[in-house]
Structure formats: C-alpha cells, structure tokens
Amino acid sequence: MPIYEYRCDSCGFQKEHIQKMSDAPLSECPACGAASYKKLVSAAGFQLKGTGWYATDFKGGSAQAAKPAASETAAPAAGGCGGACACHPG
C-alpha cells in the first residue's frame, strides 16, 4: 500500500499515512480537527512485505559474488574447442 504524506494548513501538523490507492484523501487534521489537512506532493513511498524477489535478491543493498558454474571452471576438452563443436560428437 502507498504511504502518503499530509500536512495541516491551520496548525502545521504533518504525518505519513498508509492508505489504499482507492481510499478517499484525508481532509480532517488529527491534531486540531480543522478541515485543512491536505496530501503533499512528494516522492512515492510504499512498503514491501513478505518474502519475494525484494527480500531475497535486493534487500541487502549489495550483490553477492556469484559462484562460477562447474562448466566455467572445468578444463577445456582436448583440441581447445571446449567439446561443443562438430569435431566432438556428443
């Protein structure tokens, strides 16, 4: 769900609210009760929950070095072609 930032024009109270995109914008200030509580234009914010590609692949902030595959570490076949050619029928 998106996180929206609101500020009251009357008292200056400011707070972030988690709302569904389909929810109507808030208008009443929770601090002073004035009807001048307005959504601010700011960078989009959202929460990522649960397990998934974000939690498993990117959450740490840095990529881990990938282990080389066995085919990359194996010595090439005789002839230097790697064995995947017409001269080495499989």
pLDDT tens per residue, the chain (90 residues)? Answer: 888 999 999 999 999 999 998 999 999 999 999 999 999 987 766 666 667 666 666 666 555 544 455 545 555 555 556 666 666 565
Q: What is the dihedral of CA 77, 82, 83, 86, to 10 degrees?
A: -130
**What is the per-residue pLDDT for 2?**
85
Q: Cα 35 from chain centroid?
A: 34
* CATH number of the structural domain 2-44: 2.20.28.10
% helix, strand, coil for the chain, step of 5? 10, 20, 70
pTM given for the model: 0.48
